[in-house]
């Protein structure tokens, strides 16, 4: 079975839209961007489309790369204090003279949309209510939507970054899965992946997971986004694997669209809405 991320994203957006049908005002997000960067701009256009598709407010605030760190922190503070703003995104990477860490720390954790603020990361680690990073949340949402029970499942996550692998491993553990977190120092990776019920790949290398590394029972979730011969591809040899496993996400059309959609869930939660 090929998992249709676009269909899952569509369902989430419909639910989010219905949730806010009777709200007194719209949830609102502010994106802050310094200078110009084609991939960042493409991401922000997509964010704008996602917000507009559910009738949420989206504002882009653009500044020159010469903006100082103090000026940026003041802008963030003003947005923190604005009661009509529910989510703040500062587009990374930032120019070298600005500390990304100080910028992340400056965003009110209640207006954090990416779950990068250390307070949210700490709460997530402890299993408390927290804004969760969108990509791991998207993977968890796929399991929820497909009613895949994670209890006692043997799950291998490949990649241990702070934005994907690490928080995802914690989220899976809180669902009582047995999690193996693999990385570039893992010895004999295939011995782990072959016996896993679920394999989640977030490495950043095209065709990384191959047919010798999976089994018939595998559910394969491909988080990767790589450019290969001018095309967007994941980390999985999709054509080589798709007929050998139980379920698989494609790229494009798998985790990516769900990641965009779950950002709306984070925004709605900051806004104070509850989406059933």
Q: Which of 203, 213, 245, 263 binds ligand NAP (CB under 6 A)?
A: 203
Report residue 68 as tokens: 């100082």
Q: Shortest Cβ contact with ligand NAP: which residue? A: 161
Residue partners of 37: CB distance under 8 A and separation at least 6: 91, 93
Closer residue to ligand NAP in complex, CB, 80/186: 186
Q: Which of 32, 124, 158, 213 binds ligand NAP (CB under 6 A)?
A: 158
Report residue 230 as tokens: 């001018």
Q: β-strands 219-222, 198-201: how paired?
A: parallel
Closer residue to ligand NAP in complex, CB, 99/161: 161
Residue partners of 209: CB distance under 8 A and separation at least 6: 158, 193, 199, 201, 220, 222, 235, 236, 237, 241
Q: Which of 37, 40, 178, 204 binds ligand NAP (CB under 6 A)?
A: 204
Contacts to ligand NAP from residues 117-136, by CB under 6 A: 135
Q: Which of 40, 92, 163, 232 binds ligand NAP (CB under 6 A)?
A: 163
Quickly list DSSP for 23-68: -SS--EEEEEEES--HHHHHHHHHHHHHHHHTT-EEEEEEE-TT--
Report residue 233 as tokens: 């591809």
Q: Which of 159, 218, 219, 262 binds ligand NAP (CB under 6 A)?
A: 159
Can residue 224 be called a binding residue for ligand NAP (CB under 6 A)? yes
Closer residue to ligand NAP in complex, CB, 115/159: 159
Can residue 157 be called a binding residue for ligand NAP (CB under 6 A)? no
Stretch that binds ligand NAP, among 45-53, 93-101, 141-149, 197-205 (CB under 6 A): 197-205
Distance of CA 175 to the CA centre of its chain: 18
Contacts to ligand NAP from residues 226-255, by CB under 6 A: 226, 255
DSSP code of 207?
T
Phi, psi of 27 (to 5 degrees): -60, 145
Stretch that binds ligand NAP, among 87-95, 123-131, 198-206, 209-217 (CB under 6 A): 198-206
Contacts to ligand NAP from residues 167-196, by CB under 6 A: 182-186, 189
Closer residue to ligand NAP in complex, CB, 123/160: 160
Q: Is 45 annotated as a binding residue?
A: no
Give the integer Cα–Cα distance in Å for 101 and 14: 35
Can residue 75 be called a binding residue for ligand NAP (CB under 6 A)? no
Give least dist CB 117 to ligand NAP, A: 17
Q: Is 96 annotated as a binding residue?
A: no
Give the integer Cα–Cα distance in Å for 47 and 69: 25
> To 5 degrees, how large is the angle CA 33–CA 84–CA 28?
55
Q: Is 123 annotated as a binding residue?
A: no
Enclosing H/E stretch for 88: strand 87-90
Using CB under 6 A as the criterion, which residues of the chain lie in contact with ligand NAP when the complex forms? 135, 158-161, 163-165, 182-186, 189, 202-204, 223-226, 255-256, 259
């Amino acid at each position: 079975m090929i998992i249709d991320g676009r269909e899952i994203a569509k369902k989430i957006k419909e639910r989010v839209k219905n949730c806010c049908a009777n709200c007194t005002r719209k949830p609102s997000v502010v994106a802050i961007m310094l200078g110009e960067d084609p991939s960042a701009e493409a991401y922000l256009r997509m964010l704008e489309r996602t917000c507009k598709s559910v009738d949420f407010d989206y504002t882009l605030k653009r500044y020159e790369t010469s903006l100082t760190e103090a000026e940026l922190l003041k802008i963030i503070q003003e947005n923190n204090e604005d009661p009509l703003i529910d989510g703040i995104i500062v587009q990374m990477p930032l120019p070298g003279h600005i500390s990304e860490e100080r910028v992340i720390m400056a965003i009110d954790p209640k207006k954090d949309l990416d779950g990068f603020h250390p307070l949210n990361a700490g709460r997530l680690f402890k299993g408390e209510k927290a804004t969760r990073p969108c990509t791991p949340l998207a993977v968890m949402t796929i399991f929820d939507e497909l009613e895949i029970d994670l209890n006692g499942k043997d799950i291998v996550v490949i990649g241990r970054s702070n934005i994907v692998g690490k928080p995802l491993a914690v989220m899976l553990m809180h669902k009582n899965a047995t999690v193996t977190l693999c990385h570039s120092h893992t010895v004999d990776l295939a011995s782990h992946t072959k016996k896993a019920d679920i394999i989640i790949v977030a490495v950043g290398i095209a065709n990384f997971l191959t047919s010798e590394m999976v089994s018939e029972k595998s559910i394969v979730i491909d988080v990767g986004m790589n450019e290969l011969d001018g095309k967007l591809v994941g980390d999985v040899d999709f054509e080589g694997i798709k007929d050998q496993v139980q379920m698989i996400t494609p790229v494009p059309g798998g985790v990516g669209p769900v990641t965009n959609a779950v950002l709306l869930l984070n925004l709605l939660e900051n806004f104070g809405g509850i989406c059933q």
